[in-house]
Copies of this chain bind each other. A is one copy, B any other.
């Protein structure tokens, strides 16, 4: 009996990782009706990440009342996996862009609720917290979450306040002495797949501000605020993190998670693979199937497929990559451990048309590879 392990990234804007798993499984069962198929939908840290972890590992969804983007009370959630030891939080649950659909303004919104979710997970007894960034409506550099966990930001007059994007510039001092003491015993991992620094042309405000509703003037203000909080952190915490890769993710949340809460930033796929104990799962697996919307030279520098290849190679399990487009110059992927790369482009059409056929083409492409494997195995 064959054993297959499916762990595809989403095809961004086309199919979710879970949907891809389901289509791949159908195509496998069409050829190997008795096969054992294990699906691991890949969380990218954004909306749906908690569900992806719960689907892959089982666990419980916890609902908590916390502050929303405008400090309003709201119901948010996080996931508890690994026999209650690990919490998975997606910041979008209480600081997500869909929550401010009608009045987005990253100069006014807070990540305070995210801090409350962390607090709740700690009080529940979790010793490890995985934080998913992505899909945020905030630009507060994580100061809101930090404030919720006890960090005190004061202005020049010495008054404590909870900063938002527009008031980062008013922070004169940051005091971490009242930070929730339990945090130091918690393993806090932040999933982060983007490289942007905190501020500047490629920073959080200029790159992601506009899609969160910031006008050019507000972008400028937000960027100045991020620059300012970096100086305060340098002065008071003796940390220089503005150019840390990913500091600029989620409106500076990447920066804040590291600066205020002592988190590590980790590639999302590595977090997923570690969390699901991927290396152990590979035992007796005949084929791993992964994939992503496009494999290109950028993917080779550490996205989903290559992250998985590093591990399947060590375990000597063939890795089949099913992708949308195959970019030029990706031969290195084979050296890294990918056994075969198959595009779902079955007819020569533009992406806008290919997208409409994606589900069918994915099924047929996996079906073809399965038929082929079966034929070679039978020889």
Q: Is the CB of B346 within 8 A of A325?
A: yes
Q: Is the CB of B368 within 8 A of A347?
A: no
Q: When chains A and B are docked, how far (Å) is the Cα of A100 from the Cα of B71?
A: 83
Q: Is the CB of B340 within 8 A of A372?
A: yes
Are A346 and B326 CB-contacts (below 8 A) given A376-B318, A376-B339, A376-B376?
yes
Interface positions of A (Cβ within 8 A of B): 316, 318, 320, 324-327, 331, 334, 339-343, 345-351, 353-354, 364, 367-369, 371-373, 375-377, 379
Q: Is the CB of A369 within 8 A of B340?
A: yes
Q: Which residue of B lies closest to A323 (CB)?
A: B346
Q: When chains A and B are docked, how far (Å) is the Cα of A318 from the Cα of B334?
A: 23
Are A340 and B368 CB-contacts (below 8 A) given A348-B351, A349-B350, A376-B376?
yes
Q: Is the CB of B348 within 8 A of A345?
A: yes
User: Which residues in B have their C-beta under 8 angstroms from that of A327?
Assistant: 347
Which single member of B320, B348, B351 contacts A325 (CB below 8 Å)? B348
User: Which residues in B have their C-beta under 8 angstroms from that of A349?
Assistant: 348, 350
Q: Which residue of B lies closest to A373 (CB)?
A: B376
Which single member of B325, B339, B350 contacts A375 (CB below 8 Å)? B339
Q: Is the CB of B325 within 8 A of A372?
A: no
Q: When chains A and B are docked, how far (Å) is the Cα of A316 from the Cα of B354?
A: 35
Q: When chains A and B are docked, how far (Å) is the Cα of A316 from the Cα of B379?
A: 8
Most chain-B CB neighbours within 10 Å: which of A368, A369, A371, A377?
A: A368
Q: When chains A and B are docked, how far (Å) is the Cα of A334 from the Cα of B367?
A: 11
Q: Is the CB of A348 within 8 A of B340?
A: no
Nearest chain B CB to A327's CB is how many angstroms away?
Answer: 7
Q: Is the CB of B371 within 8 A of A334?
A: yes
User: Which residues in B have their C-beta under 8 angstroms from that of A324?
Assistant: 348
Q: Is the CB of B371 within 8 A of A318?
A: no
Nearest chain B CB to A259's CB is how many angstroms away?
Answer: 41
Q: When chains A and B are docked, how far (Å) is the Cα of A347 from the Cα of B348?
A: 8
User: Which residues in B have their C-beta under 8 angstroms from that of A371?
Assistant: 334, 339-340
Extra 12 A-B pairs, beta carbons < 8 Å, given A325-B348, A340-B372: A325-B346, A331-B367, A339-B371, A339-B375, A339-B376, A340-B369, A340-B375, A341-B368, A343-B343, A348-B349, A348-B350, A376-B376
Q: Is the CB of A345 within 8 A of B345?
A: yes
Q: Is the CB of B340 within 8 A of A326?
A: no
Q: Is the CB of A318 within 8 A of B369?
A: no
Q: When chains A and B are docked, how far (Å) is the Cα of A371 from the Cα of B86?
A: 40
Q: When chains A and B are docked, how far (Å) is the Cα of A6 from the Cα of B104?
A: 60
Nearest chain B CB to A306's CB is how many angstroms away?
Answer: 16
User: Which residues in B have their C-beta under 8 angstroms from that of A343?
Assistant: 343, 345-347
Q: When chains A and B are docked, how far (Å) is the Cα of A348 from the Cα of B331?
A: 19
Q: Is the CB of A350 within 8 A of B350?
A: yes
Q: Is the CB of A326 within 8 A of B339?
A: no
Q: When chains A and B are docked, how far (Å) is the Cα of A379 from the Cα of B317?
A: 8
Most chain-B CB neighbours within 10 Å: which of A372, A376, A377?
A: A372
User: Which residues in B have their C-beta under 8 angstroms from that of A353?
Assistant: 348
User: Which residues in B have their C-beta under 8 angstroms from that of A368?
Assistant: 340-342
User: Which residues in B have their C-beta under 8 angstroms from that of A339?
Assistant: 371-372, 375-376
Q: When chains A and B are docked, how far (Å) is the Cα of A4 from the Cα of B78?
A: 55
**24 A-B contacts (beta carbon < 8 Å):** A318-B376, A318-B379, A324-B348, A325-B348, A326-B346, A326-B347, A334-B371, A339-B371, A339-B375, A340-B368, A340-B369, A340-B371, A341-B368, A342-B342, A343-B343, A343-B345, A345-B345, A348-B351, A348-B354, A349-B350, A350-B350, A373-B376, A376-B376, A376-B377
Nearest chain B CB to A213's CB is how many angstroms away?
Answer: 31
Are A375 and B345 CB-contacts (below 8 A) given A340-B369, A368-B340, A369-B340?
no
